[in-house]
């Protein structure tokens, strides 16, 4: 188990001349850096430039303000320019865009967007926090009224005003990432008919298909139209509103369109200043968040760093890492480069109507792309003790090293308690620890909150069994490629089997297994499944100890297979319609 101890030594010895710090960008990372700089250096001159009208606001709350979940607009603001200046004695210049950086002169050129005046400001140390900008492809008609991106407070105000002033009955959200899904839910809750268009074969690209499939069915159950594998080619407008043009399909009518297909690092200033960019097209920084110029630091959405799991360069667009980076950069500026940034494992969570979807670390598909050998395991557990009212199921998929059990990724889909479980998993991944820690994790237990064996423990138990060959598994996407001689056995009850089963499976309930061994050919491979995995595992133990050695159990059970099969049928139906 790895432990990192920081001894930063917060003793500041003032220099002969007061330092001057300039920060470009005043939302998450920039505001955090500025406040920390002031706490460490009371005498310094600190200037923040922000091209927008607002500073230090809650990006992640914007969709919920549009949906009237957050009713008071002022609650979106952590600080205002005036309050920031009063509390921290920081010169905050909003509506002022930095248009150039001269590293040799150690100056920035700023432009007041109200007056048009340009002027230079000197610095001793500079912090870049320009963020990211929404991707807005040059599609025909994209400049039509009613087509928006959502990135800042001004965007939010425009969208909210448009929804209120226009007769908005139909909305199309293009892109099924975190923001896209949040916008779809909030627009739906306003009584608007919502369609989601996603070019990929699933929602939420950071998670694996089998987990995304659960949320996709939930979205459809809410009456939202979900179009996967669908490409937008442009926009038209007629007397009834907008028409979203789709490749090889009929256009989708809309009164409002939200473009949410992703963002890209804003590196324009960095490139103009000659700063190094990395492989992921973000601003390159070293472990101390220093750019290629030692007097310029960078934080937030615009930077890139090495992923601690895949060791590949990456960007991350999350508020948590940006805020931490801002604090860390300030520490290194004032106290010397002593605190190393270890990278982010992209822990994220999103509310999808009644469901919660969370992820930490690397998805199996990304591990495969990176050539990292691993095992995946899927378990289904109750959010708390089953005998206490209100327990709801959560599905947990983890990926771990086949060599030593190091936890590489975790994904959870459920209703209650998803957040606290993903935080545990995130901590284990971040420290490079293993599935064995999941087994030993000591949680707070009372029937309303958990079970004696928490879902985290259960995920660890199953993973340990798989890793040590006590439990041999196969996966839902291998069903169609089983050998001809395979014996597929459903070990659920006869009633469950009749309600729905995998084609070609015979039914031998686990409680009858010992009495019906003669019906199974021990010389041919046996593939077992139950609803969630547990009964299949029990049946496997019975068979193996009776000489049936070629026995595997379906990871995640019929539930995973059926969910993915239903999604595949939706896709196949669409393909047939297009043909």
Closest CA to 77 of 90, 62, 95: 62
- pLDDT of 276 > 70? The answer is yes
Distance of CA 240 to the CA centre of its chain: 36
CA distances in angstroms from 311 to 344, 367, 409, 447, listed in the order given:
11, 11, 14, 41
When mean pLDDT is compared across 152-156, 173-177, 304-308, 327-331, the lowest value belongs to 152-156
Integer Cα distance of 266 and 337 in angstroms: 25
Q: Which three-class secondary structure state does DSSP give residue 466? A: helix
When mean pLDDT is compared across 358-372, 517-531, 559-573, the lowest value belongs to 559-573
Closest CA to 322 of 297, 302, 295, 342: 302
List, as one string, the DSSP characters of 373-442.
Answer: -EEEEEEEEESS-TTSTT--EEEEEEEEETTT-BEEEEEEEESSSHHHHHHHHHHHHHTT-BHHHHHH--
Torsions phi, psi for 313 (to 5 deg): -65, 140
List, as one string, the DSSP characters of 532-573.
Answer: SSHHHHHHHHHHHTTT--SEEEETTHHHHHHHHHHHHHHHHH
- pLDDT of 33 > 80? The answer is yes
Could you report the per-residue pLDDT of 525-550, keeping only the tens digit for each? 999 999 999 999 999 999 999 999 99
Identify whether the C-beta of residue 156 lies closer than 8 Å to the C-beta of residue 239: no
Taking residues 380-384, report their average pLDDT.
96
Beginning with the edge strand found earlier in the chain, give each strand of the sheet holding 252-254 in spatial order. Answer: 232-238, 241-246, 252-254
Integer Cα distance of 568 and 320 in angstroms: 35
Integer Cα distance of 320 and 422 in angstroms: 15
Q: Note the residue count of the chain.
A: 579
Question: For residues 222 and 152, which has the higher predicted lDDT (pLDDT)?
Answer: 222
Confidence at residue 244, expressed as pLDDT on a 0 to 100 scale: 97
Confidence at residue 2, expressed as pLDDT on a 0 to 100 scale: 40
As given in the structure block, the two tokens for residue 239 are 């007397």
| Mean of per-residue pLDDT scores for the chain | 93
16 — pLDDT class (breaks 50, 70, 90) = low
Confidence at residue 574, expressed as pLDDT on a 0 to 100 scale: 73
Active site residue 60: yes
Torsions phi, psi for 182 (to 5 deg): -65, -40
56 — pLDDT class (breaks 50, 70, 90) = confident
Confidence at residue 7, expressed as pLDDT on a 0 to 100 scale: 47
Could you report the per-residue pLDDT of 497-510, keeping only the tens digit for each? 999 999 999 999 99
Confidence at residue 562, expressed as pLDDT on a 0 to 100 scale: 97
- pLDDT of 3 > 50? The answer is no
- pLDDT of 419 > 60? The answer is yes
Point out the catalytic residue in the list 19, 40, 60, 190. 60
- pLDDT of 485 > 90? The answer is yes
Confidence at residue 78, expressed as pLDDT on a 0 to 100 scale: 81
Identify whether the C-beta of residue 303 lies closer than 8 Å to the C-beta of residue 265: yes
Confidence at residue 579, expressed as pLDDT on a 0 to 100 scale: 62
Confidence at residue 28, expressed as pLDDT on a 0 to 100 scale: 86
Confidence at residue 246, expressed as pLDDT on a 0 to 100 scale: 95
Integer Cα distance of 510 and 531 in angstroms: 12
437 — pLDDT class (breaks 50, 70, 90) = very high
Confidence at residue 223, expressed as pLDDT on a 0 to 100 scale: 96
- % of the chain surpassing 70 pLDDT: 97
Confidence at residue 578, expressed as pLDDT on a 0 to 100 scale: 67
């Amino acid at each position: 188990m790895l432990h990192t101890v920081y001894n930063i030594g917060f003793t500041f010895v003032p220099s002969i001349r007061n330092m001057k710090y300039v920060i470009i960008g005043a939302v998450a990372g920039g505001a955090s850096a500025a406040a920390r700089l002031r706490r460490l250096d009371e005498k310094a001159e600190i200037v923040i430039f922000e091209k927008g009208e607002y500073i230090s606001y809650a990006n992640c709350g914007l969709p919920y303000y549009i949906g009237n979940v957050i009713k008071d607009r002022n609650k979106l603001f952590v600080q205002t320019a005036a309050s920031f200046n009063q509390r921290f004695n920081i010169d905050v210049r909003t509506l002022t865009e930095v248009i150039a950086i001269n590293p040799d002169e150690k100056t920035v050129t700023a432009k007041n967007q109200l007056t048009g005046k340009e002027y230079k400001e000197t610095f001793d140390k500079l912090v870049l926090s320009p963020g990211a900008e929404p991707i807005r492809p040059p599609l025909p008609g994209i400049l039509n009224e009613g087509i928006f991106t959502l990135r800042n407070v001004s965007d939010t105000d425009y969208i909210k005003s448009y929804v209120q002033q226009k007769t908005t009955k139909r909305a199309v959200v293009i892109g099924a990432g975190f923001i896209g899904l949040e916008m779809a839910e909030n627009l739906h809750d306003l009584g608007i008919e919502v369609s989601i268009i996603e070019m990929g074969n699933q929602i939420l690209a950071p998670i694996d298909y089998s987990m995304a499939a659960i949320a996709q069915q939930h979205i459809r159950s809410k009456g939202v139209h979900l179009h996967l594998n669908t490409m937008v080619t442009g926009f038209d407008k007629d007397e009834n509103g907008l028409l979203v043009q789709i490749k090889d399909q009929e256009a989708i009518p809309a009164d409002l369109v939200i473009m949410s297909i992703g963002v890209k690092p804003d590196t324009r200033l960095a490139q103009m200043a000659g700063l190094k960019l990395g492989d992921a097209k973000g601003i390159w920084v070293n472990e101390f968040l220093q750019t290629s110029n030692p007097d310029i630091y960078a934080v937030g959405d615009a930077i890139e760093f090495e992923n601690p799991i895949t060791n590949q360069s990456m960007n991350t667009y999350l508020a948590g890492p940006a805020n931490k980076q801002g604090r860390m950069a300030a520490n290194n500026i004032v106290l010397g480069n002593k605190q190393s940034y270890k990278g982010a494992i992209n822990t994220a969570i999103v509310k999808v109507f009644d469901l919660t979807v969370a992820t930490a670390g690397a998805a199996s598909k990304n591990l495969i792309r990176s050539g990292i050998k691993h095992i995946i395991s899927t378990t289904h557990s109750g959010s708390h003790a089953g005998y206490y009212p209100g327990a709801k199921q959560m599905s947990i998929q983890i990926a771990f090293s086949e060599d030593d059990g190091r936890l590489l990724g975790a994904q959870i889909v459920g209703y209650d308690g998803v957040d606290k479980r993903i935080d545990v998993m995130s901590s284990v991944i971040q420290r490079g620890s293993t599935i064995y820690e999941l087994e030993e994790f000591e949680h707070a237990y009372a029937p309303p909150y958990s079970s004696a064996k928490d879902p985290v423990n259960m995920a660890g138990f199953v993973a340990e069994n798989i890793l040590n060959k006590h439990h041999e598994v196969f996966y839902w996407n291998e069903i169609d490629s089983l050998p001809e001689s395979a014996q597929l056995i459903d070990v659920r009850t006869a009633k469950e089997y009749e309600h729905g089963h995998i084609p070609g499976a015979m039914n031998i309930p686990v409680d009858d297994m010992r009495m019906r061994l003669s019906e199974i050919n021990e010389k041919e491979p046996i593939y077992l499944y139950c609803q969630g995995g547990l009964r299949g595992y029990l049946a496997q133990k019975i068979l193996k100890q009776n000489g049936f050695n070629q026995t595997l159990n379906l990871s995640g059970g019929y539930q995973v297979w059926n969910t993915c099969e239903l999604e595949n049928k939706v896709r196949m139906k669409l393909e047939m319609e297009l043909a």
